[in-house]
Amino acid sequence: MRRVLAALALAPALAGCAKLELAVANGAELTNGGYEREAELAYGTDPLQRLDLYRPARAAGDALRTLVVFVHGGRWSSGDKSEYRFVAAGLAERGLVVVVPNYRLYPAVRMDAAAEDVARAVAWAQREAQRYGADPARVVLMGHSAGAQLAALLANDGHWLAAAGARPPRALVGLAGPYDFLPLTDADLIDYFGPPAHYAASQPVNFVSRSSPPAFLVYGLDDSSVKPRNIRSMAERLKAAGVPVDVRLLPGEDHGGVLRHCVRFFRAGDEVYAALVRFLKEPPAHAPGA
């Protein structure tokens, strides 16, 4: 399982294998009675503007819970919310409310449309939060791979969320995320993030400031899809701005392998996963602009 989950990279050639192993990871959650799921909730009119919502099966008092918006990966051209059920189920089992949206994909759209979709999903989650026992003021943006880029961009470049009527997040979690990946060399990415005048606006590192939220960044040291400079650059910018950042560099893990810590077979007793859950529930205190 560990070897195959580690193969969940961006390369289309791996898609069939990755989908099989994601199915195994997600299948393990079918007997997990610790969460409830509502699927295909609409946050827009496009068929891809749908989200799944996960919440704890058993209420624990009247306190509102942290609300996590998890953005799936897939090189901005593939992936689906259903593939990350194991991530959301595990967090809901531990007392969090989790929203996993789909968003429009390349080549049908370019980055701006995907960012707008995720921002609209965040706005929906904040509006509906209390209905599901979550606190609209305690939102954490989280994503893997391409989803981490979108989550980090929205968390640091405030105009996306503001335009959708959403409030800034309380924190950011990035799993194997690209945050500083210029220059572009692949034709599809040149097209997706173009024209060239727009490239800088796609880089989360360019928007880090003292108002950025605290971050929890995970990176596998064997990652061959996202270069190490992405994690170094993002962490350095956050630290320089005085923003709390917890960086987890994982030996022997590659681009998809970081997801292993979220799989039901592994997450019990896993130190990285325990640290992630602690961060989600209680991010470090940080006064924006302080």
**Tens-binned pLDDT, residue by residue, of the chain (290 aa):** 444 444 343 333 233 446 667 888 888 888 888 999 999 999 999 999 999 999 999 766 668 999 999 999 999 999 999 999 999 999 999 999 999 999 999 999 999 999 999 999 999 999 999 999 999 999 999 999 999 999 999 999 999 999 999 999 999 999 999 999 999 999 999 999 999 999 999 999 999 999 999 999 999 999 999 999 999 999 999 999 999 999 999 999 999 889 989 999 899 889 999 999 999 999 998 766 55
Distance CA(127)–CA(166), nearest Å, equals 9
Say if residues 109 and 77 touch (Cβ distance below 8 Å): no
Which two tokens mark 60? 């624990």
Q: Token pair of 39, please?
A: 């699927």
CA–CA separation, 175 vs 185, rounded Å?
23
- In terms of C-beta density within 10 A (0-12 exposed, 13-18 middle, 19 or more buried), how is residue 108 classed? exposed
| Tally of residues, the chain | 290
Q: Which long-range contacts (CB under 8 A, 24 or more apart) does 38-42 make?
A: 41/124
Q: Are strands 65-71 and 97-101 parallel, antiparallel or unpaired?
A: parallel
- Provide the whole-model pTM: 0.91
- Where does 2-281 sit in CATH, by number? 3.40.50.1820
Sheet containing strand 245-250, strands side by side: 35-42, 50-56, 97-101, 65-71, 134-144, 171-175, 215-220, 245-250
Domain ranges for the chain: 2-281
- Give 72's DSSP letter: -
